[in-house]
Amino acid sequence: MKRNVIVGQSGGPTAAINSSLAGVYRTAIDRGANKVYGMLHGIQGLLEEKYIDLSEHIRTELDVELLKRTPAAFLGSCRYKLPGIHEDKAVYEKIFAILDKLDIEAFIYIGGNDSMDTIKKLSDYAILTGHQTRFIGCPKTIDNDLALTDHTPGYGSAAKYIGTSMKEIIRDSFCLEYPKGLVTIVEIMGRNAGWLTGAAALSKGEDCEGPDLIYLPELTFDIQSFRTKVEQLLKKKTSVVVAVSEGIRTADGKYVCELGKDINFVDSFGHKQLSGTASYLASFIAGELGCKTRAIEFSTLQRAGSHLASRVDILEAYQVGGAAVKAADEGDSGQMVVLQRISDDPYQCATAVKDVHKIANDEKCVPRNWINKDGTYVTDEFITYVEPLIQGDVSPVMVDGIPRHLYTPKELYKK
């Protein structure tokens, strides 16, 4: 590498996304890049010429280690849909003029399916105009819904957080006895894919019976059969714990969270903000069965919990960052780095690249045969798949009893 690299982060953050950033930075420097720039708030910020020179922020090996342990997008993120390449040429001319000004050889974008749409469009435009910059996608999403990769960095750490927190919730739920029982409903992110919600089953083991019911968005949610199942369980036990995906829908296609309120916020990719499923179902059950209920929404905590990150996840996130730079350096463009599992036990995984056109905007869901027959739990195959991804810990660097993060660039907050 002789010229410069630019890297951006996009979409929902994870506990591992900054480890990929560290991998991009280190590998670009090791391969001889002159400068490594970071877009502030992804492509949206780049369009406003907001970027930083990463070497001014990552100065020492300790900074690299801290960055790997820092949750949320260090550079800031965005959910910005680029127009089609024939719809608004001016946007592309502006982006490519900025890339020329910065003498960019490789453009690396760390993101999920929507962010791969950006790589797809930019690499298509480069081919159309004979531009030499190479565009590579680096996978990231707690949702684990990217096609053609075994899994996505960010998922393992979120799954570990969910399995652990679920176990703590279940234990707590048996402490106090209520006359008509306690029903706890835990809402988990993942939009239309149930990979994260299924991870609630990781709490099950010798010392924990796991949640009683798990509802994934891949299957239609029937509220009456849910009520019946909870009622039957309450006849046998004092506490019932249910994991539900934020994206479960009724037969008419309506999200359960929409039954309680109107969802007004929709992002530029047309995704509705999903939240409120657990509180809707908790009120419904309390009204129907007269028991005590509690709604828990993991919300931001499940993707920001770097104190509980999976070592496998943080290492793989770093690895895909490095692989993205290597791919660009070797001449690839319009590709995304993927993880290919070689074996479950011992767990082994390698990186490769795949055409981003086959990945962008697609959603990989949990296969039907990894969900039990009546749609209320995941199968052993699901557990075999996810278990290797949550292994090992990354000790936080503790300062005054609290994990230390890499200081956020102050430019991120400037209006």
- Residue from 153, 163, 190, 194 in contact with ligand F6P (CB under 6 A): 190
- Minimum distance of ligand F6P from residue 142's CB (angstroms): 5
Backbone angles phi, psi at 325, to 5 degrees: -65, -45
* Orientation angle between helical segments 277-289 and 223-236, nearest 10 degrees: 60
- Minimum distance of ligand F6P from residue 146's CB (angstroms): 11
User: Do the beta carbons of residue 353 and residue 338 sit within 8 Å?
Assistant: yes
- Minimum distance of ligand F6P from residue 349's CB (angstroms): 22
Task: Determine, following the binding rule CB under 6 A, whether residue 144 of this chain makes contact with ligand F6P.
Answer: no
- Residue from 10, 27, 44, 141 in contact with ligand F6P (CB under 6 A): 141
- Residue from 57, 69, 303, 364 in contact with ligand F6P (CB under 6 A): 303
Task: Determine, following the binding rule CB under 6 A, whether residue 274 of this chain makes contact with ligand F6P.
Answer: yes
Nearer to ligand F6P, 247 or 322 (CB): 247
- Minimum distance of ligand F6P from residue 350's CB (angstroms): 25
Task: Determine, following the binding rule CB under 6 A, whether residue 314 of this chain makes contact with ligand F6P.
Answer: no
Comparing CA positions, the residue from 109, 96, 117, 99 lying closest to residue 10 is 109
Comparing CA positions, the residue from 189, 8, 14, 25 lying closest to residue 115 is 8
Maximum CA pair distance of the chain?
Answer: 72
Instruction: Return the C-alpha torsion angle 250, 254, 255, 259, nearest 10.
Output: -90
Residue count, binding to ligand F6P (CB under 6 A): 13
Nearer to ligand F6P, 23 or 190 (CB): 190
Whole-number CA gyration radius for the chain:
22
Task: Determine, following the binding rule CB under 6 A, whether residue 153 of this chain makes contact with ligand F6P.
Answer: no
- Minimum distance of ligand F6P from residue 408's CB (angstroms): 17
- Minimum distance of ligand F6P from residue 75's CB (angstroms): 16
Nearer to ligand F6P, 141 or 239 (CB): 141
Q: What's the CA gap between 6 and 108, in Å, rounded?
A: 6
Q: What's the CA gap between 105 and 107, in Å, rounded?
A: 7
- Straight-line distance from the first to the last Cα atom of the chain, in angstroms, rounded to the nearest whole number: 34
Point out the residue whose Cβ comes nearest to ligand F6P.
Answer: 12
DSSP secondary structure string for all residues of 88-128: -HHHHHHHHHHHHHTTEEEEEEEE-HHHHHHHHHHHHHHHH
Nearer to ligand F6P, 184 or 197 (CB): 197
Nearer to ligand F6P, 187 or 329 (CB): 187
Query: Which helix (DSSP H) or strand (DSSP E) does residue 297 occupy?
Result: strand 292-297
Task: Determine, following the binding rule CB under 6 A, whether residue 117 of this chain makes contact with ligand F6P.
Answer: no
Binding segment for ligand F6P (CB under 6 A), chosen from 36-44, 141-149, 230-238, 368-376, is 141-149
Residues identified as active-site: 143
Residue 346: cis peptide before it, omega within 30 degrees of 0: yes
Tell how strand 398-399 and strand 402-403 pair up. Answer: antiparallel
- Minimum distance of ligand F6P from residue 112's CB (angstroms): 6
User: Do the beta carbons of residue 254 and residue 263 sit within 8 Å?
Assistant: no
Binding segment for ligand F6P (CB under 6 A), chosen from 2-10, 59-67, 186-194, 254-262, is 186-194
- Residue from 143, 212, 329, 332 in contact with ligand F6P (CB under 6 A): 143
Q: What angle do CA 405, 41, 410 make, to 5 degrees?
A: 50
Tell how strand 104-111 and strand 4-9 pair up. Answer: parallel
Nearer to ligand F6P, 107 or 255 (CB): 255
Class of residue 312 by CB neighbours under 10 A (exposed 0-12, middle 13-18, buried 19+) = buried
- Residue from 99, 189, 200, 234 in contact with ligand F6P (CB under 6 A): 189
- Per-residue x/- marks for ligand F6P, 72-111, CB under 6 A? ----------------------------------------
Single-letter amino acid, residue 120: K
Binding segment for ligand F6P (CB under 6 A), chosen from 1-9, 167-175, 185-193, 325-333, is 185-193
| Residue numbers at the binding site for ligand F6P (CB under 6 A) | 11-12, 112, 141-143, 189-191, 246, 273-274, 303
